[in-house]
Copies of this chain bind each other. A is one copy, B any other.
Amino acid sequence: MRDHSVRAIPRTQSSIALSTDGERWLLCNASPDLHRQIDAAPALQPRGPVRGSPIAGVLLVDGQIDHTAGLLLMRESAAPIEVWSTDAVREDLSGGLPLLPVLDHYSGARWYRLPLGEPLHIPPLPGAELIALPVPGKPGPYSPHRAHPRDGDNIALVVRDERSGARLLYAPGLAMPTAPVLAAMKDCACVLVDGSFWSDDEMIRAGVSRKTAREIGHLPLSGPGGMLETLGSLPAATRRILIHVNNTNPILDEDSAERAMLAAAGIEVAYDGMEIAV
C-alpha cells in the first residue's frame, strides 16, 4: 500500500501468537515477516542478550510459504524448534518445501502431530485445549498433492481456555466453512477469520492474477455465501476479526465504503501488534 492517497496501515503476513500465562507463547504460523512482527510485539522479544525466546512453539495451519518460511528465521534458536502440524503439512515441509530437514542442519526441529478433530494439550499453552478442524482447500503450489488435496492440508484452529471456557477460532484460509467449522464458530467468543478478499474476482480486476479468491482457497467477504453473511449468522456477542487481508482488498482503506460496511456489521480488521484477550 504505497499509494499515500489511501489511508491504510501496512500489514505483514497473517500470524498470531497465543499465550495462557503471558510467559510462553505459541506462534500460529511462522511468517517470513516474523522479525517485523516480533518488533511490533514486545511480549515476543527475547528478555536478555542470550536468554531464549518467549516463543515456546510453532503451530502451522497449512504449509503455505507465507505461513512457514519464518521457520528459517528461527534456525539459530538455542534449542530445537517445537512444531505442531498435521501429517499432510509435515509431508509437504519434508518434501516439496523441505524446511524441516533444512532446520535439522541448524537448531533442529521437533515435530508433533496435530490430529484432526481431537482435543490436544500442548506444553506452550498450559490450561488450553486445542482442536484442529479440517478446512477444504489445497496445499501450497509446490506440493506434489496440489491437484489431489488431503484432509489436513488446511485447518481451522479452535483454542479453549479451560479456566474460563472461552473459545477462539483462527482460520486465515477458509474457502468454505463446513458444518463443523460453522458450529465451532458459533461456540466461540472470538473468531479470527479469512478476510483476504472483498470480491471473488478482485485480483483479476486489479490485474495481479488470473485466479479468483475461491480458486486460491479464500472465501470472499461480499456476495451470497460470503464471509460477511457467514459472520452475520454468529451470536451477537461474538467478536469478529478479519485477518490475512490481501493488499488488493478495499477494506484496507479506512475511508472506503467497504470498511464502513464492516464497521456497521461490528467486524474488526486485524493489524500488526493487535492484542486480544478472551
Contacts and interface: CB of A to CB of B under 8 A. Distances in A.
A33 B70 CA distance: 11
A33 B32 CA distance: 8
Contacts of A72: 32, 65, 69
B142 A102 contact: yes
A97 interface: yes
Contact of A206 (B2, B50, B75, B98): B50
Contacts of A46: 2
Interface of A: 2-3, 32-33, 35-36, 45-46, 49-50, 65, 69, 72-73, 75, 96-98, 101-102, 105-106, 140-142, 146, 206-208
Most B-side CB within 10 Å, residue of A32, A33, A146, A208: A32
A65 B75 contact: yes
Contacts of A3: 49
Given A50-B208, A72-B69, A106 B141 contact: yes
Contacts of A35: 32-33, 36
Contacts of A32: 32, 35, 69, 72-73
Contacts of A49: 3, 206
24 contacts: A2-B45, A2-B46, A3-B49, A32-B32, A32-B69, A32-B72, A33-B35, A35-B36, A49-B206, A50-B206, A50-B207, A50-B208, A65-B102, A69-B73, A96-B102, A97-B98, A98-B98, A101-B142, A102-B142, A105-B140, A105-B141, A105-B142, A105-B146, A106-B141
